[in-house]
């Protein structure tokens, strides 16, 4: 029998009401929300009742999605399903750190709050845009990026999907260049150019904040966004680096599969990671867990 991986969602699929069904159904999930409210009062209310505009603000999105992610994972464990390894997409990596025991829930939540605050500030002071590129290989995307100033591949999601960070001014011309190359480009409704040099200020601020944070050895294998390999070496540097460098998600998934994973469960909001897995591998089962009903998959 193969191994199970939990993969924790990133931001982008957040919506008002997220997590409420799990909160009501699972004591383990409710405990995560109670923790979040004790550190950042109103987090549960924001998840359950926040407006779309409110939840799109990075300073709110990150702590809220973290809470939904970690709560869903704890509910799954409560039902007797445990993983052999974990990873998280962007902010989802912070939830994975907590799940893997590298940080206490409280320290991980404070870290994601600080991360959201710093990235929100960097986005306002150094505006940028993000574009999802489909139907062309990452190598071709890199080639197109090289023709534009301050334009970087930042999310290597699958063989046919790469997300790019660029300037607001370059966005339309970049999308046109993608179309001319036979691809499809879609501007993303985000507040900044994440995982790129646009976030250097945020990465530096996070490194300074983490000087007062203690990391433990992982209790379960956890893959890094920055290296696409299991965490080793300077843990704080890996957390800092992923803020201003690409997320190598496709390679993470390939490395998991090579390590024996044949079942991937996306934990938290949406089904982006489940869909990426299905599009990349024919022989890996992919599920999602966001609500109590999702736990009853085959």
For 177-218, what is each residue's pLDDT tens digit?
999 999 999 998 787 899 999 999 999 999 999 999 999 999
129-187 classified as CATH 3.30.70.250: yes
Q: Which listed residue (9, 44, 191, 195) is catalytic?
A: 195
- Helix 27-39, helix 58-78: angle, nearest 10: 150
Q: Which listed residue (26, 90, 158, 224) is catalytic?
A: 90
Q: State residue 189's pLDDT score.
A: 79
Cβ distance 153 to 162 under 8 Å? yes
Hey, what are 255's tokens? 């490395």
- Sheet containing strand 85-88, strands side by side: 221-222, 85-88, 3-8, 261-267, 285-289
Q: State residue 118's pLDDT score.
A: 97
Q: State residue 297's pLDDT score.
A: 63
Largest CA-CA distance found in the chain, in angstroms, rounded: 53
For 94-118, what is each residue's pLDDT tens digit?
999 999 999 999 999 999 999 999 9
Q: State residue 68's pLDDT score.
A: 98
Q: String of b and e for 82-103 (b: at least 16 CB within 10 Å)?
A: ebbbbbbbbbbbbbbbbbbebb
Hey, what are 171's tokens? 């966005």
Judge whether 90 counts as a catalytic residue: yes
pTM: 0.94
Instruction: Return the domain boundaries, the chain.
Output: 3-125+196-296, 129-187
Judge whether 44 counts as a catalytic residue: no
**Consecutive sets of 10 residues in the chain, 298 residues long: mean pLDDT of each?**
92 93 96 98 97 92 97 96 97 98 98 96 94 96 97 95 96 96 91 94 97 96 98 96 97 97 96 93 94 82
Q: State residue 191's pLDDT score.
A: 79
3-125+196-296 classified as CATH 3.40.366.10: yes
Query: ∠ CA(214), CA(266), CA(202), 5° rounding?
Result: 40
β-pair type (85-88, 129-134): unpaired
> How many Cα atoms occupy the beta-carbon half-sphere of 49 within 13 Å?
4
Burial of 70 (0-12, 13-18, 19+ CB in 10 A): buried
Cβ distance 276 to 10 under 8 Å? no
């Amino acid at each position: 029998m193969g191994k199970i991986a939990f993969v924790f969602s990133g931001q982008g699929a957040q919506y008002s009401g997220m997590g409420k069904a799990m909160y009501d159904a699972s004591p383990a999930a409710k405990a995560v929300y109670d923790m979040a409210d004790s550190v950042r009062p109103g987090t549960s209310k924001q998840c359950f009742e926040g407006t779309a505009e409110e939840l799109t603000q990075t300073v709110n999105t990150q702590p809220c999605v973290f809470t939904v992610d970690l709560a869903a994972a704890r509910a799954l464990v409560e039902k007797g399903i445990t993983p052999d390894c974990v990873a998280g997409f962007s902010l989802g990596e912070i939830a994975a750190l907590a799940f893997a025991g590298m940080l206490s829930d409280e320290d991980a939540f404070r870290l994601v709050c600080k991360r959201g605050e710093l990235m929100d500030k960097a986005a306002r002071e150094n505006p940028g845009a993000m574009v999802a590129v489909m139907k062309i290989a990452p190598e071709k995307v890199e080639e197109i990026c090289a023709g534009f100033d301050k334009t970087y591949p930042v999310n290597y999601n699958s063989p046919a999907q790469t997300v790019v960070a660029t300037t607001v001014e370059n966005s339309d011309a970049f999308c046109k260049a993608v179309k001319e190359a036979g691809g499809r480009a879609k501007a993303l409704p985000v507040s900044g150019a994440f995982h790129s040099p646009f976030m250097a200020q945020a990465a530096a601020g996070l490194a300074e904040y983490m000087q007062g944070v203690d990391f433990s050895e992982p209790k379960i294998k956890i893959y890094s966004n920055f290296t696409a390999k299991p965490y080793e070496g300077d843990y704080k540097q890996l957390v800092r680096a992923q803020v201003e460098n690409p997320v190598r998600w496709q390679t993470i998934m390939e490395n998991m599969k090579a390590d024996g994973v044949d079942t991937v469960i996306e934990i938290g909001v949406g089904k982006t990671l489940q869909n990426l897995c299905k599009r990349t591998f024919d022989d890996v089962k992919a599920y999602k867990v966001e609500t109590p009903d999702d736990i009853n998959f085959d």
